[in-house]
Amino acid sequence: MKLAVVLWLAQIMPQPYADQVCLATTVYLEARNQSELGQRAVAEVALRRLDSGRWGDSLCDVVTAPKQFAPTLVSPQYDMDNLRAWERAVAITLDVQQDWQKPHAQRSLVVPGADHFVVRALASPAWAQGAPVATIGDHTFYKVVSRL
């Protein structure tokens, strides 16, 4: 299925299903070739951004904010054709979202405090400075105190 179709479907779906689709799409696009831990970390960053309120009022708003996550960086014609990776991204997304409903102290955090990540082989953003929270697979996760 084309990315554009998936994102269109998310626009007409009721909550919380729309957010689940948007987050699963982001995990699929950003980290389908990564470990479960890496995929959980990507989902966690998006959820943390939602909680902050700085990037939008829904997960769909957060992950489709311009130039923040893969749904806005990948061609809308991208064919999301790896069914096994999609099923895995959906399962991980649902698990992370369920965990995120717990009180903060009871959550199983993978990248505590991280609200950004980068694939260093692809980009070197100005905000990626200082000690990272973690590196998992090819993603490096950061807590960005102030955006440059």
Per-position DSSP letters for 32-72, written without gaps between them:
TTS-HHHHHHHHHHHHHHHHHTSS-SSHHHHHTSTTTSHHH
Q: Which of 144, 140, 148 is nearest to 42 (CA)?
A: 140
Tens of pLDDT, residue by residue over 23-68, are 999 999 999 999 999 999 999 999 999 999 999 999 999 999 999 9
Token readout for 144 is: 């960005």
Residues 6+ apart with CB under 8 A from 141: 41, 45, 111, 114, 116, 117, 132, 133, 134, 135
Residue found by looking up tokens 């990507």 in the block: 42
Per-residue pLDDT, 93: 97
What residue type is assigned to position 120 of the chain? Answer: R
Residues 11, 124: Cα–Cα separation, whole Å: 32
Per-residue pLDDT, 120: 87
What are the extents of the domains in the chain?
A: 3-109
> In what helix (H) or strand (E) does residue 11 lie, and over which residues does it extend?
helix 3-12
Give pTM, 2 decimals.
Answer: 0.95
Rounded percentage of the chain residues whose pLDDT exceeds 70:
98
The two most distant CA atoms of the chain are separated, in Å, by: 41
Per-residue pLDDT, 148: 46
CB 28 within 8 A of CB 43: no
Residues 47, 115: Cα–Cα separation, whole Å: 9
Token readout for 8 is: 């269109």
